[in-house]
Structure 1
Amino acid sequence: MHASKEVTVALLGCGRFGQRHLEVLNRLPDVRVLVVADIDEPRAQQTAFRFGVPSFTADFREALAWPGVDVVDVCLPTFLHAQAVEGAARHGRHVFCEKPLALRAEDAQRAARACEDAGVKLQVGFCRRFDNGWLAAAEVIRSGALGRPVVWRHATGTSGAPQPWFFDRELGGGPFVDGAIHWYDFGRFLFGEVESVQAATRIMRPGRTAPDTGIVSVRFVSGDELQLMWSWGLPPGVKVDELHEVLGPEGALSMRPRQQDKISDAAVFVDHDHRKENGGHANGADPGNLGYLWLRRPGQTEAQPVVYQRNDMVEEELIAFVQAVREDRPTAVGGREAVAALQVAMAVLESGQTGRTVMFDEMTLPARSAK
């Protein structure tokens, strides 16, 4: 890397997430994007102009070899992720790759191994690990306030992703690969290794090859459980209310942030690292940018607030990656975690297709990356 510790970037994919990454990268000190790539050359050109990037190309392979690049940021469609990561590793570039790392666990394993063999860093875009709301919920669970084991459940129904390729089994994998993988990864982060997966899935809308609707149960060795009731099968513009909560033998936690006029003076959790009595707006929190989860326990007439500072999780994950590159230290969430989460996704698809419970003693989960 340059002696000035400037980090130079080639960004692959100028779609919605690529644009989002560029917004963040342009704000980071001593980070410079040298080239953007997109198969739609006019879009690549327009994106380069919009963000002040000096070069563009319609061939992401050309960008992988661009002179002077330290880092490749992969925001391509999912079916190209593994190929792009392996190419970046061959050129000695550190890699940030949006999730999932691949569509099959063996392809993800190969891409992760390519980075290890080349001695380059790999971080995968599990941005929920940087979401202060989810981290605040994790702190409550770890504190024992809900008792253990817990059931973490989430129900949602929308029309899903904007492009048809997301619903192709060979291109995007559908919601139980592309979207729910955040839950699989955070579940492993919070609860540890997976014991079994059971799923009932279906294709709601015709013309799709990946399941878009279903019910999933992921049981962890710890006894905790993740339950998902998901659909990306509704017509455009139609959505239903979400349910997102954690249930335990000693209480329940609502993870659907909502404002209340009155905040109780009882003990509250502030951020994900601190527990304060009568927390108020401690730790430099911006009172206008606070989020609230709601804790319900026996003997309390009102739900108690769990207060956290809202944050930009995409910005936080990219900052963490750039710092890891600049300071030559391990990334926050790397290839081993990405492979493990994808193995859960593969088990969900298998269980949904066969109707049987997939036991994880039938599979080999990789060890966690060093932090």
Structure 2
Amino acid sequence: MGVKDINVAVIGAGRAGLIHAHNFRKSVPYARLAAVVDPNRAAAERAAKELGVETWYGDYREALRDDGIDAVVVVTPTIYHRDIVVDAARAGKHVLCEKPMAMNAEECEAMIEAAKDAKVNLQIAFMRRFDASFQEAKARLDAGEIGEPVLIRSLTRGPSTPQPWMYDLKKSNGPLAEVNSHDIDTLRWFSGAEFAEVYAIAGNYRCPEAAETYPDFYDNVLLTARFDDGRQGVIDGALSVQYGYDSRVEILGTEGVIFIGQLHEKTIVTARRNKEITRPFMNSWRHLYKDAYLAEDIDFVQSILEQRSPKVTGRDGMMAVKVVEAGNRSIRESAVIRLS
């Protein structure tokens, strides 16, 4: 008897949602894109047409009532994650939830419990763990090639102006959540330790249109951390930097250093008569992590078929959210925040 395909619905037809949808449409073994969902019904219909699928919904609850759907990918604004994931789990659907997992740790706990009670998988979409360079770096770390890691520094800077809803920290939790959740998970994964204390500073330098209505919004943040085993961490995050998409990691050990990340999108280099050399800068996370998104989606389906826990769990998502909460509190209070 052959393996039954996993029918997947993607909830959210924005940029990241369409990356997942295209993967499940044609590139993930033993998976079938069964439907797309978006509260903007025109966007849902447009995405379905682009993807060549017949079924689309304007309300995620309609998709959850579809007995032919086995799993969902949740790619909506963070404030909706808890309700969608809990409802999906109760409907017996496996869940791949984009980062950040939720608005606070209590919501994360509810999502984890719902998945546990329903005996479905809950995977959090920290796709950098599936990137080939990140995986090789982890293997070299575990093999002791640079001794004991002492300091892990991770930065993510994006070129785009934030979506208007991101200015409201009550809806987005700010760049620490929307941009730096990946960096937080990177530090946890590479260190093998938990954050013990954080201190963060932030400011709004490039988004003046947000300042009057959302005075607490920040587009630049620096977070320093101490882990529960004494190691150190640094996170650098920025929005609307204009120059390109910038994602890099440095791991300093007792006997060496590992660098991850590249600034260049293409290998072409141009030299001109003015004696200047130019090379295209990395333009988008969609290009840099294209293969990692696919590997993540493939592993999500494999974890369902193999009836095993996903490689990135709800707890991983919750621990990142706890650091976001602590970092935002540190910014507000200008204080070192200790995590329990």
Q: TM-score, normalised by structure 2?
A: 0.83
Partner of 2:150: 150
Matches within 5 A, 1:319-358: 319-358=298-337
Q: Amino acid of the residue matched to residue 14 of structure 1? A: A
Are 2:30 and 2:301, in contact at CA under 8 Å, matched by a contact in 1? no
Are 1:152 and 1:246, in contact at CA under 8 Å, matched by a contact in 2? yes
Question: Could you tell me how far apart the structure 2 residues matched to 1:149 and 1:231 are?
Answer: 25
Question: Could you tell me how far apart the structure 1 residues matched to 2:300 and 2:155 are?
Answer: 31
Tell me, what secondary structure is at the counterpart of 2:218?
coil
> Is 1:196–2:185 an aligned residue pair?
no
Matches within 5 A, 1:13-24: 13-24=12-23
Partner of 2:78: 78
> Is 1:135–2:140 an aligned residue pair?
no
Q: How many angstroms does 1:227 deviate by?
A: 0.7
Q: How many angstroms does 1:155 deviate by?
A: 4.3
Are 1:201 and 1:353, in contact at CA under 8 Å, matched by a contact in 2? no
Question: Could you tell me how far apart the structure 2 residues matched to 1:140 and 1:68 are?
Answer: 43
Question: Could you tell me how far apart the structure 2 residues matched to 1:156 and 1:47 are?
Answer: 28
Q: How many angstroms does 1:83 deviate by?
A: 1.1
Question: Could you tell me how far apart the structure 2 residues matched to 1:239 and 1:29 are?
Answer: 33
Are 1:167 and 1:212, in contact at CA under 8 Å, matched by a contact in 2? no
Are 1:197 and 1:351, in contact at CA under 8 Å, matched by a contact in 2? yes
Matches within 5 A, 1:242-321: 244-257=249-262, 312-321=291-300
Structure 1 pair 341/16, CA: closer, same or farther in 2 (3 Å)?
A: same
Q: How many angstroms does 1:171 deviate by?
A: 2.0
For residues 74-128 of structure 1, what are the alpha-carbon distances to aligned partners after superposition, in whole Å with 9 as ceiling and x for unaligned? 1111111111101101211111111111111111111111111111110010111
Q: Amino acid of the residue matched to residue 9 of structure 1? A: V
Structure 1 pair 339/316, CA: closer, same or farther in 2 (3 Å)?
A: same
For residues 171-216 of structure 1, what are the alpha-carbon distances to aligned partners after superposition, in whole Å with 9 as ceiling and x for unaligned? 2222211221112122222221222111112233342444321210
Partner of 2:101: 101
Matches within 5 A, 1:105-184: 105-155=105-155, 157-160=157-160, 162-184=162-184
Q: TM-score, normalised by structure 1?
A: 0.77
Question: Could you tell me how far apart the structure 2 residues matched to 1:323 and 1:158 are?
Answer: 31
- Which has the higher mean CA deviation after the structures are superposed, 245-254 or 102-111? 245-254
Structure 1 pair 105/160, CA: closer, same or farther in 2 (3 Å)?
A: farther
Question: Could you tell me how far apart the structure 1 residues matched to 2:19 and 2:64 are?
Answer: 20
Structure 1 pair 197/33, CA: closer, same or farther in 2 (3 Å)?
A: same
Identity %: 32
- Which has the higher mean CA deviation after the structures are superposed, 211-220 or 317-326? 211-220
Are 1:176 and 1:212, in contact at CA under 8 Å, matched by a contact in 2? no
Q: Amino acid of the residue matched to residue 64 of structure 2? A: L
Structure 1 pair 158/330, CA: closer, same or farther in 2 (3 Å)?
A: closer
Structure 1 unaligned regions, length at least 5: 262-309, 364-371
How many residues matched? 309
Q: How many angstroms does 1:69 deviate by?
A: 0.9
For residues 222-268 of structure 1, what are the alpha-carbon distances to aligned partners after superposition, in whole Å with 9 as ceiling and x for unaligned? 3322212222154xx34597764222342333223379x9xxxxxxx
Q: How many angstroms does 1:331 deviate by?
A: 1.0
- Which has the higher mean CA deviation after the structures are superposed, 207-216 or 35-44? 207-216
Structure 1 pair 134/49, CA: closer, same or farther in 2 (3 Å)?
A: same
Q: CA RMSD in A?
A: 2.5
Q: How many angstroms does 1:313 deviate by?
A: 0.7
Are 1:85 and 1:97, in contact at CA under 8 Å, matched by a contact in 2? yes
Question: Could you tell me how far apart the structure 2 residues matched to 1:116 and 1:144 are?
Answer: 35
Are 1:148 and 1:224, in contact at CA under 8 Å, matched by a contact in 2? no
Are 1:75 and 1:98, in contact at CA under 8 Å, matched by a contact in 2? yes
Partner of 2:35: 35
Question: Could you tell me how far apart the structure 2 residues matched to 1:240 and 1:86 are?
Answer: 33
Greater share of helix residues, 1 or 2? 2
Structure 1 pair 128/350, CA: closer, same or farther in 2 (3 Å)?
A: same
